[in-house]
Each structure stands twice: as structure tokens, then as C-alpha cells.
Chain A
Amino acid sequence: MEIFLPIAHMDVNIALIASYGALVGFLSGLVGVGGGFLITPLLIFTGVPPIVAVSSGAAQIAGTASGASYLQWRHGNIDFKMALLLAIGSWAGGACGVLAARLLVREGHFGNVVMFLYVVLLGIIGAGMLIESLRAVVRRAAPAAAAARSATAPGSPPRTERLRWQTDFPVSGVRLPAAAPLALGGAAGILTSLMGVGGGFIMVPTMLYLLRMPTRIVVGTSTFQLLFTTAAVSVMQAGINHSVDPLLAGILILGSVFGTRLGAWLGARLPGEKLRLILALVVVAVAVKMTLALVIAPSEPYEMSIEVH
């Protein structure tokens, strides 16, 4: 069944778009990443103009993330205190990032440099997570002693005890200076606004390995945090670029519901290290995909984008 999208100005197959939504919802429910990295290229591949794909994708993730957040909240997986500090940090960081981007764009190949850095960063994070989670899975499979702390990722705790404003985060079971989530949120916010792709990939490993929060709480908190970022992007894209297609986003959200529930259901039954392994595989896959796009010669170096008026 086909439907004509008023903003994207093209007709699409409803079932196909809904299945994209389901896929993204599944990832969102399972590992707490938004899926913008997935939905944008899928939509562009279908023929949706890039700016409409990015904007409608953000609107969809805002919808999906609020649904997923509801489920995570019912499962008690959201650390609201942490999420609030991260969100404040990422908003401030995002604003700085936008300003920085505006200044840096004049330097020419700015976009390429950021893209390059991002791929390297993702590659390192993904590889590190993959090694860690594989070890944890193997260790657990062996009948040996220490599967002690499968809920949290291993590693030495950050040396932050002497910093001020030590705050308890009872849901995550950690004690940190309040500046830590603010700073990390800020860093993620800068990257998000520079790259234009979701902060999930930065935020999730950060919470896992630096803030040392339990995997399940990380997934829930990341999902909740994502809600604010993507909602803000969606409103701004609609206001400035008129590029949010409500029919497209609506179909994606409807499709994502099934995926989200399946993801959240599966996530609640998987041990922490397996969840981390899945996330690691996703991060590595994205890094590989981006690297291939950088290395493989395009069949047509020119690209055309038509302004929809």
C-alpha cells in the first residue's frame, strides 16, 4: 500500500517504512541507541531527500524514545538524576558545538575532519567494547569463579573521589561528583551537534565504562536522555527547514512500537555482558560501514539533491 508524503514529496510503501521503524525500535528498546545512524541512510536509500530523512528521523526517534522510556521506567531502569545532569550537559555542549561548527565550517574541509575523527573514535570504542564484552561472555560461559559483577562493566573506577559536589546516584548505585555527568553530557552534546548523528554511541559507552553504571540502567537512562535531544532537533528542523514529514514520522513510529517492545522484552532477559556485546557489534558495524564509505570509490562522484518547495 502506497502513500504520498507531503513534505518529502514522493510516494512510499507503508509496509516498507513501518519495517524500518520496527528495526530501529528494536535497537532502541534493546541497547538504548536512537538508531539515527540507521534510519537516515535507509530513508535516503528509499529516495527521501536527505534533510527530510534526518528531520523526520529525529521526530520518529523522539516518539520511539518516549515509548521506550515509558517501558524502561516501568522496569525501573531509568536514573532520572543522572539523565537530568547528562541532558543539561548535552544541551550546553550542543549549543557550543553549533557555534563551533559555524566558525569551523569556514575553514573548508571541516566536515571531513570531524567525520574522520568520528570514525576513529567509534572504531576504538567499538573494538574496546567488543573485546571487553567477549571476554565477559567467555568468562561467564566457563564454570569458573568470577561472574561476580556482570551487571557493571569492569575497569578501574575513575579517580574522582577528591572532587567536590560528590553526589549519590542511588538508582545506578554510584557516587560521583555532579560535574562528571555534566562534563560527559557536554562532550557528547558537542559531538552530536558537530556530527549530526545521535549521541547514543558516545553516551552509552561513557556511562558503561566511565561512570560505571549497570548495563540495564545505562540502556534506560540513555533512552530517556535521547528523548530530549531528538525532540529538540525535531522542533528546530521543523521550524527552520520545514523538513519534518509528519506522515513519514508517524508511520515510522507505528512500526517502531513492535520493535521497541520486542527489544525491551529481550533486553530484560539478557545478561549485562551479552547486551554490551550486542551494542559493541552495532558500534563496530557502524564504524566499518563509515570506513567503507570513506575508502570505496563512489560509482558516481556527483550527487544531486533537489530542494523541495
Chain B
Amino acid sequence: MRRWLCLLVVLPAWMAAIQSRAGEPLVVVPEKDQVDITTDFAGTEFKAVGAIEGAGDLIIKVVGPQQEVTLSRQIKLGPFWMGGDRVRVAGAPSVLLLYATRPIASLLSRADQEKHGLLLEGATVRIEPQLQAHAAEDWRKAFFRLKEKRGDYREDDRAIKMFGKRLFIATLPLPSDIQVGTFSVETLLVRSGRVVGRDVARFRVRLAGLERWVWNAAHDHAWAFGVLFTLAAMALGVLLNAIPYRRARHARP
């Protein structure tokens, strides 16, 4: 309910923004350009409204900041499963979310999907250390499989709602473990198998308030933070146990 009221408030501003760019085939206006992660952050929704000129289908691609990932695998040695080798995967976006009004494969040819980066397994990733092609391919496949399993890379054809023939609202869920950094939201207008309009917006995700303070303390003054926090943890442990103990002793006749 509150969400809709919010929408009602920002809607005129949105409409004005869209009006100012009348004549373009595709205009997208994001609800905000910054997402703050505060103590009560449990994921959020990113909204964007837009208008299209003429009929067509929409594809929205959300790409998160790059992320370093370590992949490891278990190998079988005799009857035992043990930790095997590991690699680093660099250069891959933390999230790749594809939203469309219809399944993307039915809108664009595979070549066009590849050209616009609309394949979930299309991102180029670097496997470190460098391996032979077939070995690297195993890791690459595992990487995309795990990313899709986590829901970081996914396709969804229900997130965009059309209002009449011109207006649309896209509601894009963002998970709570979202990477900090700049996200790009690229919207494509597709008509009879061809991309006829394109608009890019960006938003930034950052830590705010206590979260930011703790993060900075833990990184900028790591050793001082470690010593002070460990001492504080020990003091807390003693304090919490000592108070009830004393009270119990005093209560005794």
C-alpha cells in the first residue's frame, strides 16, 4: 500500500521527465539513482517507468558491478571425497538480470542476443590461473551453473507491466546480498526481431549509516579494530555473565 502511495507521489515527476524527452522511441526513467544499504536492509525493489513510441516488446538488462569469485571443487580419491583444486573467476558481473515482456529467445535471434549481451552464459570471464581450453570450459560451465542457481543470473518475463500501449513500469527485485557499486539498467525496444530503441540508466548501491561506519573501521583500521573489538567481545562476555551472578549472590540471604 505504502509502496503505491510512494509511486503516486513520484509519478508526476516521472511523467514530466518522460514528457521532456517526447519523440524518442524509448524513454526510461528510474525511480532513484541510489540504493542505500542500512541496518534493516533485506533486499529491495528497483522501479523504473518508461514510455515507448509505437508497438513493440521490451527487454531490460540489469548488470551489476564486477565481482571476484573463487571456485573450488571436490574430487574423489579412492573412496573419499576431498577438496581438490580451485580457480579464481574474474571479470564477471555480480548480477545479470534479464527482464522482458516475452521470452527473449522468441524476440531476437541468437546472434542479436549475443550482440546485445542478452545470453545468461554469454559474459566473458577470466579463469585464473590460465588453463587448457577444455579444463577452463569445465570451470566456466560450473561458474554459470552456480550463478544461475543462486539467482544472480536469471531471466524473467513477468517483471514488466504495460499500462495501455505506451507506458510501462518495471519492478526489478534486488537481493539483500547485492554487491556494492554501480549497476547499469539497459532497456531495449524490440520490434519484429530488431532492436529499434535503447536507453541506459544507472544506479549506485552503497553502504550507509552504521553499516558504512563498521565497514570503514574494519578496513581502514583493521588491526586496531580487531584488537578493540576482540577486547569488547571479551568484556561483553564477562559483563553479561557477571551481572546475574552478582545479583544472585546478593539475593541469597
Q: Contacts A11-B43, A239-B222 known; A304 to B143 CB distance under 8 Å?
A: yes
Are A231 and B82 in contact (CB-based, < 8 A)? no
Partner of A7, one of B69, B214, B230: B214
Binds B, one of A36-44, A68-76, A86-94, A132-140: A68-76
Q: Contacts A11-B176, A70-B241, A301-B75 known; A6 to B210 CB distance under 8 Å?
A: yes
Q: Contacts A2-B42, A112-B77, A247-B214 known; A242 to B222 CB distance under 8 Å?
A: yes
Of chain B, the residue at the smallest CB distance from A65 is B237
Which parts of A1-48 form the interface with B (CB within 8 Å)?
2-4, 6-7, 9-11, 47
Q: Contacts A11-B176, A62-B234, A234-B226 known; A4 to B39 CB distance under 8 Å?
A: yes
CB-CB < 8 A to B143: which residues of A?
304
CB-CB < 8 A to A246: which residues of B?
214, 218, 229
Contact of B124 with A by CB under 8 A:
no
CB-CB < 8 A to B79: which residues of A?
295
Contact of A129 with B by CB under 8 A:
no
Task: Tell me, in angstroms, the Cα distance from A247 to B241 when the chains sit together.
Answer: 19
**Interface membership of chain B positions 225-245, coded 1 if the CB is closer than 8 angstroms to chain A and 0 otherwise:** 111011001111110111011
Partner of B72, one of A6, A59, A116, A303: A303
Are B229 and A115 in contact (CB-based, < 8 A)? no
Contact of A297 with B by CB under 8 A:
yes
Task: Tell me, in angstroms, the Cα distance from A300 to B214 when the chains sit together.
Answer: 35
Contact of B211 with A by CB under 8 A:
yes
Which parts of A168-193 form the interface with B (CB within 8 Å)?
none
**Interface membership of chain A positions 274-309, coded 1 if the CB is closer than 8 angstroms to chain B and 0 otherwise:** 000000000000000000011111101111111101
Q: Contacts A298-B81, A305-B72 known; A250 to B214 CB distance under 8 Å?
A: no
Contact of A212 with B by CB under 8 A:
no
Partner of A74, one of B69, B74, B177, B245: B245
Of chain A, the residue at the smallest CB distance from B68 is A307
Shortest distance in angstroms between A41's beta carbon and chain B's nearest beta carbon? Answer: 15
Are A7 and B233 in contact (CB-based, < 8 A)? no
Shortest distance in angstroms between B19's beta carbon and chain A's nearest beta carbon? Answer: 38
Are A66 and B238 in contact (CB-based, < 8 A)? yes
Contact of B48 with A by CB under 8 A:
no
Task: Tell me, in angstroms, the Cα distance from A159 to B33 when the chains sit together.
Answer: 74
Are A302 and B72 in contact (CB-based, < 8 A)? yes
CB-CB < 8 A to A305: which residues of B?
69-70, 72
Contact of A194 with B by CB under 8 A:
no
Contact of B91 with A by CB under 8 A:
no
Task: Tell me, in angstroms, the Cα distance from A294 to B69 when the chains sit together.
Answer: 25
**Interface membership of chain A positions 237-274, coded 1 if the CB is closer than 8 angstroms to chain B and 0 otherwise:** 11110101011011001101100110000000000000
Are A6 and B211 in contact (CB-based, < 8 A)? yes
Partner of A238, one of B81, B150, B222, B235: B222
Closest 8 A-B residue pairs measured CB to CB?
A238-B226, A67-B237, A63-B233, A63-B237, A67-B241, A302-B142, A66-B234, A66-B237
